[in-house]
Amino acid sequence: MLRVLPSVARSLASSLSVRPLTSKAQAVTGEIVDQNRESRVIKTVLGAVNDQIEKGTHSRLFAVIYLHGKQFKVTAEDIIAVNTVMPVGIGETIRLNKILLAASTDFTLIGRPLLDQDLVRVYATVIERTLGHEYRIFKFRQRTRYQRSYFYRQNYTMLRINGIEIARPIDQ
């Protein structure tokens, strides 16, 4: 909320030829009217989003998930490479729990910091475990004939996103 000092407010009001509110009752009444209008708008927006969720008329969903220290924006049938070896066998289906955001073209659900696990569900299947490209680590010390080369490959787990679903209405 923006706060303005009374002296600044008077000078602004005089320069803009606007009269300030004469009593606190008028200010409080105006705030209540604004809050009622905002609550009605919020209820209609939530109603429209809940109707889309119940009928399944929303467009393709996407989600931002948090997995192994990184964020991924995923939709259904995406393949992502996670920079780790997961303790899950190839072909097994897992449910990703840390969902930061879920959205469609008409609405966005933002978690603070995470969305409720019962509200949005993201399922993925482990399709492959592989190694990344080879990194060369070269160590060298001057005038000592010391040279060493080490090679390193990072482990990756490939996941296919099976689907994203919103399980229940938002306001429940």
> Which pLDDT score, from 0 to 100, does residue 31 have?
60
Provide the pLDDT for residue 33: 64
Confidence class of residue 170 from pLDDT cuts 50, 70 and 90? confident
Mean pLDDT over 133-152 rounds to 96
Q: Token pair of 129, please?
A: 């475990």
Residue 3, both tokens: 């706060």
One-character DSSP codes across the chain: -----HHHHHHHHHHHT-PPPS-HHHHHHHHHHHHHHHHHHHHHHHHHHHHHHHHT-S---EEEEEETTEEEEEETT-EEEESS--SS-TT-EEEE--EEEEE-SS-EEE-SSS--TTTEEEEEEEEEEEEEEEEEEEEEETTTTEEEEEEEEEEEEEEEEEEEEE-S-TT-
Residue 70 reports pLDDT greater than 70: yes
pTM for the structure as a whole: 0.71
Reported as a pLDDT band with limits 50, 70 and 90, residue 16 is very low
Q: Bigger pLDDT: 21 or 106?
A: 106
CA 96 to chain centre: 14
pLDDT at 122: 97
User: Residue 32 — very low, low, confident or very high, per pLDDT cuts 50/70/90?
Assistant: low
